[in-house]
Amino acid sequence: MITIREVTSKKDLKAFIKFPFKLYKTSKYWTPPIISQELKTFDKNENPVFRDADARLFLAYNNNEIVGRVAAIINWLEVKNQDQKKMRFGWFDFIDDLQVSKALLNKVEAIGKENKLTFAEGPVGFSNLDKVGVIDEGYDAIAPMVTWYNYPYYIKHYEAAGYTIEKGYIESRFPFSNVKPETFFKAQELIKKRYQLKALKFTKTEDVMPYADKMFDLFNKTYAELSSFVAITDIQKEYFKKKFISFINPEYIKFIVDKNDDLIGFAIVMPGYAKALQKAKGKLFPFGFAHILRARKQSKDVMFYLIGIHPDYQNKGVHAVIFNEYYNIFTKKGIQTCYRTPELEDNLAIQKIWKHFNPEVFRKRKTYRKNLQ
């Protein structure tokens, strides 16, 4: 018999976080999170998102063995400020048993109805910087650290529970050898001169920090038009700076400023950490940190995590300046493969930026929706 219990203790929370380690133990493609970071994600004293959001975590048991989990999330900024009466859910993992997934989703839906929300959507996190989507194509590629992985059977569970596709996302990659500098070198020189722009170069993480708040402000402006976008608040900026920037080689952070030193474009690229995280097995110590540090310096894979250009400068070729900066550093470091994080299928503007590199879509994901009223 399947029973659902709410997470109410630190012991329960650790069990919630560690369940996928058992579920995906034999998978070559699942990338484990860092357990200590996952604990902080759900710590209301650590994660400022809880000032504007609620989350209730549930575990499914069969004969006292954990067989599934889900996080039921309400982002009140989204509900109240955007009139998006959405019940979010994520961290949704389960064995291939329809009773398990249905019982967990019933909990999510009940919370949504209690709060007079009109629909549920998942898998999603708290915000646009969290993981998103269930894979429905491309299971045979290792998952980057900023995405979820899932088995193929997950899709039938969403459909059996009455969920329909809400949004589609694509992930793509291209060999660095596809990047031909002649497609952007001359253009970027002209663009810098015409708009009096310059690219900032960093070698130390602390040098990035004075620009980090401006970057998040620009992120909010750049992505505001996308569906279901929830802006990053001031207090969340501090949290995300600590969470992400320490993982990034400062040479992989590119800022473009105008003559007044105002930020008009940015890009963040992360080294490929997936294989290092598989070796770390969720723990930084005693050896996990060494694997991650080695990947930070030596990985031949990179992932374009975020890229944004001020609305006033979009369609003016500013991305050519960014690509030129990366071309120089990637050539120096011998980068072999470039990956892009999940992007909305209908975000044609960002897809157009990459067309000269002939990217290959190697994975697709979806979020699923169910009306609650």
Which pTM value belongs to this model? 0.93
pLDDT-wise least confident of 122-131, 206-215, 235-244: 235-244
- Tell me the pLDDT tens digit for each residue of 161-183: 999 999 999 999 999 999 999 99
The torsion angle over the Cα atoms of residues 308, 309, 310 and 316, rounded to 10 degrees, is -160
pLDDT at position 87, please? 98
**Res. 242 pLDDT band, cuts 50 70 90:** confident
**Res. 254 pLDDT band, cuts 50 70 90:** very high
The pLDDT > 70 percentage for the chain reads 99
Residue ranges of the alpha helices (H) in 85-132? 98-114
Parts of the chain belonging to CATH 3.40.630.30: 7-172, 175-362
Give the residue with greater pLDDT, 112 vs 348. 112
CA distance 250 to 224: 26
Q: At what angle do helices 318-333 and 185-195 cross, to 10 degrees?
A: 130
Q: Is 1.25.40.10 the CATH classification of the domain at 175-362? A: no
**Res. 10 pLDDT band, cuts 50 70 90:** very high
Element (H, E) at 319: helix 318-333
CA distance 62 to 351: 45
**Res. 350 pLDDT band, cuts 50 70 90:** confident
**Residue written as token pair 């250009």:** 309
Tokens of 348: 């044609």
CA distance 284 to 281: 9
User: Which residues pair with residue 199 across a beta bridge?
Assistant: 256
pLDDT at position 228, please? 65
- Tell me the pLDDT tens digit for each residue of 198-225: 999 898 888 888 888 898 899 888 877 7
pLDDT at position 9, please? 96
Mean of pLDDT values over 220-233: 77
What residues contact 291, with CB distance under 8 A and at least 6 apart? 276, 277, 279, 280
Looking at the predicted structure, is the pLDDT value of residue 88 above 80? yes
Mean of pLDDT values over 334-341: 96
| Architecture of the structural domain at 7-172 | 3-Layer(aba) Sandwich (3.40)
Judge residue 52's burial from the number of C-beta atoms within 10 Å of its C-beta, 0-12 exposed, 13-18 middle, 19 or more buried: buried
Q: Nearest to residue 362, comparing CAs of 139, 78, 213, 156?
A: 139
